[in-house]
């Protein structure tokens, strides 16, 4: 089996100084674990100059697109990482799935307006990566065997040479405005609750959208928000005419050595202003029957989704109702795991589980139909996924919540939450704003 070549670099706890060297390169991408503040993440992964970019054709099914991606990995060729250096990526695909890619996997209505025009999916095929390992405090360039020596030496020089990198400041031209008025939000929640009372569904994740005109470098926006709200599944993906800047706390699916893990979030409280109030908020979340019931609904949904791709009897719930705290909110998180079935792979796992149940509701298909009915515009990257799949079949992915789409001089973000039978519409409205408040406030307070 061919083996990747590693080149050791100086370890840096913040990947920004590495990424700034490729910020303006074609296909620049950073998957950022939010260290040193965020504690769950171990690796940062960044790359640029992909061999190819893959986007689905207009009428291409999800299955057909995934088959093209499989073939791309096969053509690049399987390779391993040296045994003494456990790294998550040996070359392969890095990119995004928009929430609306789900329409290519299931028969769903398509009434929402697609005014942001983000591709339903976009992946680059990368024969190299720079990987920070925060556990071992090591940094390596990883070269797939197919990468030529000239390109390897060019990358080594780039990352070994110190330089100052300037970027244009990012700023808003006006404050964020909500797409949905307060009464419109109330009516949507009441409609969902009627569906629940009629037995159509148990829970629907309903979201609202916020937008502001902007100018400047998207990377500057990412750096500023990251400093205020580091999270273990952050990421920055450069696009033609813009970027995605994600600050997600939520893992969607990880596939490592045949083991599958998902960590759905369901249940949120704002952080307190002082230690006493903050502890009260955390305990209130842990003790909330409503939040535990919502979380359990999604755990059951994810057990079912993983069961499509995992060995019979292998799906388990090793962690239920755990507390995770971030700079702006406390979350209730569970873990569902399983063993991938023979003949299955990362793409089959995605096809059976995307989009994540924590951001749709239950049952999933009916919840997605209701979302399409009540949300006037497509979700785009919101509640989609940032992910990698390498040539060994290893995968890790996020749920793209707390995410900015900066495109065509407009910055967009979304906030949402799970609506159930006893939800208070005004409390849900405030929670939807609270989840993205830190993102909007950081950008709104940048001096002009």
Average pLDDT over residues 233-244: 96
Distance CA 53, CA 153 (A): 24
Tokens of 261: 């893990």
Please write the tens of the pLDDT for every residue from 276-303. 899 999 999 999 988 898 899 899 999 9
Q: Is 428 a catalytic residue?
A: no
| 386-398 burial: b if 16+ Cβ within 10 Å, else e | bbbbbbbbbbbbb
Question: For residue 37, is pLDDT > 70?
Answer: no
Average pLDDT over residues 168-194: 96
Question: For residue 11, is pLDDT > 80?
Answer: yes
| pLDDT value at residue 27 | 98
| pLDDT value at residue 167 | 79
Percent residues over pLDDT 70 in the chain:
99
Question: For residue 237, is pLDDT > 90?
Answer: yes
| pLDDT value at residue 321 | 94
Average pLDDT over residues 138-146: 98
**Which member of 39, 106, 171, 250 is catalytic?**
250
Long-range contacts of 14-17 (CB under 8 A, 24+ apart): 15/44, 15/46, 15/130, 15/132, 16/223, 16/226
Domains assigned to the chain: 5-444 (3.60.120.10)
The values of phi and psi at residue 72, to 5°, are -65, -40
**Which member of 74, 179, 186, 266 is catalytic?**
266
Please write the tens of the pLDDT for every residue from 341-382. 999 999 999 999 999 999 999 999 999 999 999 999 999 999
Question: For residue 96, is pLDDT > 80?
Answer: yes
Confidence band (pLDDT; 50, 70, 90) for 39? Answer: low
pTM of the model: 0.96
Distance CA 398, CA 245 (A): 13
Percent residues over pLDDT 90 in the chain:
85
Phi/psi-derived region of residue 93, left when phi > 0, alpha when psi is between -120 and 50, beta in every other case: beta
| pLDDT value at residue 38 | 60
Average pLDDT over residues 13-20: 93
Average pLDDT over residues 7-30: 95
Average pLDDT over residues 235-252: 96
Q: Is 175 a catalytic residue?
A: no
**pLDDT, averaged across the chain:** 94
């Amino acid at each position: 089996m061919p083996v990747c070549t590693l080149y050791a670099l100086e370890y840096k706890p913040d990947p920004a100084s590495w990424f700034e060297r490729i910020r303006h390169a074609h296909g620049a991408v950073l998957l950022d674990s939010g260290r040193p503040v965020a504690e769950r993440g171990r690796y940062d992964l960044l790359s640029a100059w992909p061999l190819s970019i893959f986007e689905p054709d207009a009428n291409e099914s999800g299955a057909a697109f995934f088959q093209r991606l499989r073939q791309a990995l096969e053509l690049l060729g399987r390779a391993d990482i040296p045994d003494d250096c456990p790294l998550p990526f040996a070359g392969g695909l890095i990119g995004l799935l928009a929430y609306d890619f789900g329409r290519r996997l299931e028969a769903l209505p398509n009434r929402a307006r697609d005014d942001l025009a983000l591709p339903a999916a976009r992946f680059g095929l990368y024969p190299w990566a720079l990987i920070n390992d925060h556990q071992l405090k090591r940094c390596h360039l990883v070269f797939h065997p197919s990468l030529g020596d000239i390109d390897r030496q060019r990358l080594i020089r780039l990352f070994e040479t110190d330089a100052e990198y300037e970027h244009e400041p990012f700023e808003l031209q006006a404050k964020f405005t909500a797409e949905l008025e307060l009464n419109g939000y109330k009516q949507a929640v009441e409609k969902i609750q009627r569906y629940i009372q009629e037995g159509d569904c148990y829970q629907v994740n309903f979201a609202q959208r916020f937008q502001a005109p902007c100018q400047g470098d998207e990377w500057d926006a990412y750096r500023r928000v990251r400093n205020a709200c580091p999270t273990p599944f952050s990421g920055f993906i450069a696009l033609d005419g813009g970027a995605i800047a994600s600050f997600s706390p939520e893992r969607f699916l990880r596939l490592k050595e045949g083991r599958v893990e998902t960590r759905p979030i369901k249940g949120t409280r704002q952080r307190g202003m002082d230690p006493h109030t903050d502890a009260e908020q955390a305990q209130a979340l842990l003790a909330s029957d409503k939040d535990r019931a919502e979380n359990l609904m999604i755990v059951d949904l994810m057990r079912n989704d993983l069961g499509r791709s995992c060995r019979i009897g292998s799906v388990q719930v090793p962690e239920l109702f755990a507390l995770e705290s971030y700079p702006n909110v406390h979350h209730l998180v569970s873990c569902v795991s399983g063993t991938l079935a023979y003949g299955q792979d990362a793409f089959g796992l995605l096809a059976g589980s995307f989009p994540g149940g924590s951001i749709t509701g239950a049952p999933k298909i009916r919840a997605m139909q209701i979302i399409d009915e009540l949300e006037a515009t497509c979700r785009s990257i919101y509640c989609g996924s940032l992910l990698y799949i390498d040539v060994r079949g290893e995968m890790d992915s996020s749920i793209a919540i707390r995410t900015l789409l900066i495109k065509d001089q407009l910055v967009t973000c979304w906030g949402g939450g799970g609506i159930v039978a006893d939800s208070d519409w005004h409390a849900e409205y405030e929670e939807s704003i609270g989840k993205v408040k830190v993102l909007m406030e950081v950008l709104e307070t940048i001096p002009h």
